Structures are given as C-alpha cells and as structure tokens.
C-alpha cells in the first residue's frame, strides 16, 4: 500500500513542529548557528554603508588618505563574514547530524515495537524511504531552511529599514514592489506540498519494487520475468519522473516570478534615483548605497523559493515519519503486567478466536486446547486451515480476538512481552536468518548461551555442518541466509529456538525442507528435547506426528478432534490430511 493522507491547511507544519523534541537537546548549537548566520549577514549588510561613506567622503573630497582605513574596514567585514560562515557550518553539521541520528534511532525503535500486523500492511520500501530519505529531507530543512528562514526575514526587515532611511520615497516604492511575493508564496506553497507528497510516496513505491526484485531475484530469473519486472520498475520510475518534473516546473515558475521582483525594484530605483540625484534631493553616495543594498535584498526574496520548497518537503517528510510514530502499538505491556521468569509450561487455549485486522471472517474460532507441562501436541490440518496463525498467538505476534490464552494459568496479555517471549520460542515455517555470523543468529534467543549449549543444540538439530563452514560459527550468513540451503536454514532456525531454552517451544512445520534421512535424525534428537519442555508442533508428515503425545486436527479454523495418533487414525479425515500433505511434500 501507498500510505496516504497529507497534511492540510493550518496543520500542514504540525508534524514538523512535533519533531522539535529531537532538536531540543541541541538548542545551544541551534542558537550558535543562528547567531553566526545573523552576524555574517550583518557584516555583508554593513559593506554597502562603508561604500556610501567612501563615495560621499574620500571620493567626493578627492582625499586618498581616508581611503586606507575604509579599505581595511571593508576587508575586515568581508573576512569576518567568511569566518562566521565557516563557524556556522561547523556547528551545524555536528548538531544537525546528531538530530538526524536521534530521529533515525527513535524511528527504528518504533518499528521494532510495532506489531506484526503493522508490518503486514506496510511495504518495505515505504518504511525504507521514511527511515532514509525523509529524515534527510528534514535534516536539510533544519540545517539550512529553518535557519535561513529567520536570517533572511531579519535581513529583509533590516535592509528595508535601511532603504527607507536612505531615501524614504524610493524605499517605500521598493517595499510595495516586494509585497506580491507573499501572495505568490502562499499559492506556491499549497500546490507544492501536494505534489511533493506524491513524489515522496512514489519514491517509496520505487524502493519497494527494487527491494522486492532484489530479494525475489531467484524467482524472477527462474520464471524469466526480468522484462516484466523491468517494465514494472520502468513504469514506476516514469511516474516518479513525471511528478518530479511537475515539481521542478512549479519551482522554476515560482523562481522566475521571484527574480522578477528585485529586478523591477532595481530598474525603478536606478531611474528614480538618477532623477533624484540630478535634482539634488539624493546624494550620489546614497544612490550607490541604495542600489548595493537592493542587491542584498535580492537574496532574501529569491531564497524564499528554496526555503519554502524545502519547508514543504520537510513538512511532507515529517507527516510521513509521524505516520510511523502514530501507528498504534496495539501489542504492548499492560501497566499491571507481570514478569514470568520460570514458567512450568502449561499452555491453554480457551475459546480462542482470531480474525486478521481488516479481514471479514475469522481464521480461528472456538479453539480449546490444553498443553500440560512437558507435553508435545502436534497440530495437523489442510493448508490454509489456520495452523501458522495458531502458532503465532502464544507469544503474541498477534493478540487473540476472542477467548484467551494462558501460560500457567495467567492470561498471556497480563505478562510482560519480553518475559513471555523469553518463555515461548518459535521456529517459523519460513526461517529468516539475519546478515550476521552463524553464532549471532543462533544466540538471538539467549545471547548468554555457552559454546557447549550451542554445540548441543546444533547437534540436536543435525546442524553440525556449521562447523564445516569456512569460518565455523563466525561465518557470516548471507542476506536472509541465502548462501545456505533451505534445509540448512531450517536446521539453524531449529537450533536457535532450542538454544533459547524456552518453557514452551513452538515449531511451525520445522522439518518440511529436510530429506527423509535427515528428518529421521532430527526427529530422533527432537524426541529427547521435547520431553523437557511443552511443545506445539505443526506437522504435515505422519512420521513427525509420532513425536507427539497427542494430535489436534484443525479444520476451517477450529479443532475438530484431539487425541493420540492411534485414536485419530480412526478418522478418515485425519488419514486424508496427513497423506494428502505427504503426497504434496513428496512431489
Ligand atoms: N497476515 C495475514 N493477514 C490476513 N490473512 C492472513 C494472514 N496470514 C494468513 N492469513 C489467512 O489466514 C488463513 C490461514 O493461514 P495460515 O497461514 O494460518 O494457514 P496454515 O494452516 O498455516 O497453512 P499452510 O499449511 O499452507 O502453512 C489463510 O486463509 C490465509 O489467507
Ligand atoms: Mg502455515
């Protein structure tokens, strides 16, 4: 999905304003930047006044002696301006980069907190573009746009005051010619913000396509769909290009109008000023100062163009970033949540029902099942019957929408998430390994596990192949563990779940990618481990079912039979579910 909703009207900058919390620790630096910028501008504004003094003094009186101090004064002002600009950039780069880093860390932390449900509905590219380019846009605005908005505002007011003081009639005339800029800016701002929101969303779409085709490269190549993906990418890139051009053309037109304003003022001033000098109502020095000051007025006016566009883009970026901060953390610790350190492992589903957010019909309903401590229960059912969904509920990847799940009699929603997840480990159907070393991947569940424990878990999962990798446990596993086979990844994920030494182990079809021989070895080893913990194992093959003390048959989201393998063998449906899947697996 392309997350929509753009800021409108008066609240347009409200998201940006909310992000000020990140700037607060750097207020001293911000003030330093601002002071440097103001002083640099003041130095540049004083230079025309020195010029006026030169023309009206030494030049007018043909005395070269007085020129020397004037020269040094102008030179000093120029040097001071340069030094102040360097100073501002120094302070600015450090402070603003820190602000950006803080924002990025908080955003990432938020992404970690958000429930799986959030990630089900957001494209990776949209998240990527928010964490990277949107935060960059906000940084550029804070570092330049915001500072120059104030500095240019002050410069405009000071120069305007000096112009009016130098020659009031002409000063007022210049003031009037600059007023249309306000109207222009307002019209530009609202159009610019809607287009820039579109551009930023489209950048996210493009990032999504890039990310998907990189991670799905094998599928794309295997089906020879390169050209199709190219076309999808090309069409998305074309859309982005069209919107970006629209943005550029709007900015160009705005800038065109903006540059016209000071030029009109300049032409007017030279004409009226020359007449005034001829009539003796204005000194030549004053005219020189007036026109030089007018050049200084150009900057604030033309700057409004990029400051406004930066501000609009930053406001849009802030809206997009705040969408993540605002997404509700629906699964979080309750204030009265308890910490569970050593659960016995009695897991009970009591009238559990579950409906995916936004979905009309429930995937699970009226599920009643009690796993006694140390017991292993296998879940079988046709594909799509809700097995993986059931396996995702006990450690609260999703919260039940009806009934409750208890661990040792306590509703799992009353247990702190960290401690709950420390007690219940899961190995998923589709094992994800991170681009870290094999050891780091294995220790995700319990970083303090000893080498001995790692060795035991690896041997249990028949994953001793890790020791034969080029750097053994320190071998970096490629992105998503792609350099390993599917079966190797599954075995690592299984070892990872076992190392966590949970009270409850949930295995979602953990042996599907193993050959029959390895599967038999893993099963044998699993049988030993499963004795010491409660286990809920989703299985497809008759051989794995033998691991379980009891089997539960899931049909259309509810348990239709629970019993031992032998008891269930009486049911034609049970035999069919296992053999159907068995045939599928053998294909
Ligand atoms: N994130 C999700 N959002 C919405 N619906 C989902 C989501 N995940 C699964 N579903 C739906 O829930 C139903 C059950 O899916 P589930 O993955 O639990 O089945 P399963 O029994 O594990 O199947 P399989 O044997 O193929 O792994 C399916 O109809 C599926 O479309
Ligand atoms: Mg499944």
Q: Which pLDDT score is estimated for 3?
A: 40
493: number of Cβ within 10 Å: 27
The ligand minimizing its distance to the Cα of 555 is 1
For the chain, percent of residues with pLDDT exceeding 90: 33
- CA 220 remoteness from chain centre: 27
- 282-316 pLDDT, tens digit per residue, is 888 888 888 888 888 888 888 888 888 889 889 99
Rounded to the nearest angstrom, the distance between the alpha carbon of 538 and the centre of ligand 1 is 13
Task: Specify whether the CB–CB gap between 184 and 260 falls below 8 A.
Answer: no
User: What residues are paired with 535 via a beta bridge?
Assistant: 376, 505
Q: Which pLDDT score is estimated for 150?
A: 85
Is the minimum distance from the CB of 515 to ligand 1 under 6 angstroms? no
User: Which mean pLDDT values do the consecutive 10-residue runs of the chain (587 residues) have?
Assistant: 41 85 87 87 83 80 80 89 89 87 93 89 88 91 86 88 90 88 85 90 90 85 87 94 94 88 87 91 86 86 86 91 91 92 92 93 95 93 92 94 94 94 86 86 88 90 87 80 77 86 88 77 77 88 82 93 88 77 45
- 480-527 pLDDT, tens digit per residue, is 556 788 788 888 888 888 888 889 999 988 777 777 777 887 787 777
Q: Which pLDDT score is estimated for 136?
A: 92
471: number of Cβ within 10 Å: 10
CA distance 140 to 100: 10
Domain boundaries, given as residue ranges, for the chain = 16-326, 347-586
Rounded to the nearest angstrom, the distance between the alpha carbon of 363 and the centre of ligand 1 is 8
Q: Which pLDDT score is estimated for 581?
A: 47
Residue nearest to atom 30 of ligand 1 (CA): 384
Is the minimum distance from the CB of 357 to ligand 1 under 6 angstroms? no
The chain-wide mean pLDDT, for the chain, equals 86
Task: Specify whether the CB–CB gap between 498 and 529 falls below 8 A.
Answer: yes
- 524-551 pLDDT, tens digit per residue, is 777 777 878 899 999 887 777 878 899 9
Q: Which pLDDT score is estimated for 245?
A: 96
For the chain, percent of residues with pLDDT exceeding 70: 96
Q: Which pLDDT score is estimated for 535?
A: 93
Give the CATH architecture of domain 16-326.
Up-down Bundle (1.20)
What is the enclosing helix (H) or strand (E) of 516?
A: helix 516-530
Rounded to the nearest angstrom, the distance between the alpha carbon of 256 and the centre of ligand 1 is 56
Sheet with 410-411: strands ordered across: 364-371, 347-354, 402-407, 410-411
Whose CA is closest to 343, among 426, 413, 411, 408?
A: 408
Q: Which of 363, 540, 541 to mutate to test the pocket of ligand 1 (most atoms within 8 A of CB)?
A: 363
Q: Which pLDDT score is estimated for 532?
A: 80
Give the CATH architecture of domain 347-586.
3-Layer(aba) Sandwich (3.40)
């Amino acid at each position: 999905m392309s997350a929509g909703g753009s800021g409108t009207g008066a609240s347009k900058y409200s998201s940006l304003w909310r992000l000020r919390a990140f700037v607060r620790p750097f207020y001293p630096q911000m003030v330093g930047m601002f002071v440097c910028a103001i002083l640099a501008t003041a130095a540049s504004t004083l230079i025309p006044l020195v010029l006026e003094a030169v023309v009206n003094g030494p030049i007018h009186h043909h005395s070269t002696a007085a020129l020397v101090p004037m020269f040094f004064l102008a030179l000093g002002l120029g040097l001071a301006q340069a030094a102040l600009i360097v100073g501002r950039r120094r302070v600015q780069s450090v402070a603003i980069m820190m602000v950006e880093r803080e924002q990025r860390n908080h955003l990432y932390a938020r992404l970690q907190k958000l429930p799986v449900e959030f990630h089900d509905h957001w494209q990776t590219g949209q998240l990527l573009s928010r964490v990277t380019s949107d935060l960059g846009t906000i940084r550029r605005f804070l570092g330049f746009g915001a500072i120059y908005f104030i500095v240019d505002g002050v410069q405009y007011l000071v120069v305007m005051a000096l112009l009016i003081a130098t020659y009031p009639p002409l000063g007022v005339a210049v003031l009037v010619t600059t007023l249309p800029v306000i109207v222009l800016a307002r019209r530009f701002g609202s159009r610019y913000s809607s287009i820039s929101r579109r551009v930023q969303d489209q950048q996210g779409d493009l990032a999504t396509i890039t990310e998907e085709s990189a991670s799905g490269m094998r599928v794309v190549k295997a089906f020879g769909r390169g050209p199709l993906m190219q076309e999808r990418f090309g069409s998305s890139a074309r859309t982005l290009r069209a919107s970006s051009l629209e943005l550029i053309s709007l900015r160009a037109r705005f800038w065109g109008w903006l540059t016209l304003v000071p030029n009109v003022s300049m032409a007017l001033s030279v004409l009226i000023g020359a007449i005034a000098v001829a009539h003796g109502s204005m000194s030549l020095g004053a005219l020189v100062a007036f026109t030089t000051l007018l050049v200084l007025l150009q900057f604030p006016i033309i700057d409004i163009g990029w400051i406004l566009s930066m501000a609009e883009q930053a406001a849009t970026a802030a809206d997009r970033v705040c969408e993540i901060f605002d997404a509700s953390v629906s699964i979080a610790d309750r204030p009265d949540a308890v910490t569970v350190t050593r659960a016995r492992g009695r897991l009970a589903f009591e009238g559990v029902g579950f409906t995916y957010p936004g979905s009309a019909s429930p995937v699970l309903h009226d599920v009643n099942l009690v796993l006694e401590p140390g017991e292993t229960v296998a879940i079988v059912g046709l594909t799509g019957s809700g097995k993986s969904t059931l396996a995702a509920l006990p450690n609260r990847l999703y919260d039940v929408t009806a009934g409750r799940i208890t661990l040792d009699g306590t509703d799992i929603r009353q247990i702190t998430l960290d401690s709950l997840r420390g007690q219940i480990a899961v190995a998923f159907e589709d094992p994800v390994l991170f681009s870290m070393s094999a050891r780091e991947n294995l220790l995700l569940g319990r970083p303090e596990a000893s080498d001995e424990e790692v060795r035991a878990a690896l041997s249990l999962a028949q994953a001793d192949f890790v020791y034969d990798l080029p750097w053994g446990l320190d071998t970096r596993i490629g992105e998503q563990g792609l350099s390993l086979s599917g079966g190797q990844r599954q075995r690592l994920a299984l070892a990872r779940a076992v190392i966590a030494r949970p009270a409850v182990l949930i295995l979602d079809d953990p042996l599907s990618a193993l050959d029959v021989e390895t599967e038999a070895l893993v099963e044998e080893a699993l049988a030993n481990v499963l004795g010491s913990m409660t286990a809920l194992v989703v299985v497809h093959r008759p051989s794995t079912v033998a691991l379980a003390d009891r089997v539960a048959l899931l049909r259309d989201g509810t348990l239709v039979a629970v019993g031992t393998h032998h008891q269930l063998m009486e049911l034609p449906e049970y035999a069919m579910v296992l053999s159907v899947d068995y045939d599928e697996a053998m294909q």
